[in-house]
Chain A
Amino acid sequence: METTKKHFLSDIGVMLGRSMRHITRSMDTIITVCITPIAMMLLFVYVLGGAIQAGTDNYVNYLLPGILLMAIASGIAYTAFRLFMDMQSGIFERFHSMPIARSAVLWGHVLTSLVSNAISVIVIILVALIMGFRSSAGIVSWLAVAGILALVTLALTWIAVIPGLTAKSIDGASAFSYPLIFLPFISSAFVPTDSMPTVVRAFAENQPVTSIVDAIRALLSNQPVGSEIWIALAWCLGILIVAYLLAMLVYKRKAL
Chain B
Amino acid sequence: MEKAIEVKDLRKSFKSAAVLKGVDFEVKRGEIFALLGSNGAGKTTIVKILATLLKPDGGTATVNGFDVAAHSENVRQSISLTGQFAAVDEILTGRENLIMIAKLRHLKNPRQVAADLLKRFGLVDAADRRASTYSGGMRRRLDIAMSLIGKPQLIFLDEPTTGLDPEARIEVWNVVKELANSGTTVFLTTQYLEEAEQLADQIAILHEGRIIVSGTLEELKKLFPPAKVEYVEKQPSLEELFLALIGKKEEK
Contact = CB atoms under 8 A, between A and B. Distances in A.
Nearest to A25: B91
B89 A18 contact: yes
Question: Which range holds the interface residue count of chain B?
Answer: 20 to 34
A117 B105 CA distance: 30
B170 to A, nearest CB: 24
A48 interface: no
Interface stretch (A49-57, A93-101, A138-146, A153-161): A93-101
Contact of A21 (B96, B103, B106): B96
Interface stretch (A7-15, A30-38, A58-66, A197-205): A7-15
Contact of A100 (B53, B81, B104): B104
Contacts of A90: 83-87
Contacts of B51: 93, 97
B73 A1 contact: yes
Query: Chain A interface secondary structure, helix, strand, loop or mixed?
Result: helix
Given A18-B100, A26-B91, A98-B104, A256 B76 contact: no
B89 A97 contact: no
Interface residues of A, number: 26
B90 A21 contact: no
Interface in B29-76: 48, 51-55, 72-74, 76
B83 A94 contact: yes
Contact of B52 (A3, A17, A94, A97): A97
A99 B76 CA distance: 5
B41 to A, nearest CB: 19
Nearest to A18: B100
B75 to A, nearest CB: 9
A29 to B, nearest CB: 11
B245 interface: no
B4 interface: no
Interface centre among B55, B77, B130 (most CB of A within 10 A): B77
15 contacts: A1-B73, A10-B103, A14-B104, A17-B100, A18-B92, A89-B85, A93-B81, A93-B83, A93-B87, A97-B53, A98-B76, A98-B80, A99-B73, A99-B76, A99-B77
Interface of A: 1, 3-4, 7, 10-11, 14, 17-18, 21-22, 25-26, 89-91, 93-100, 255-256
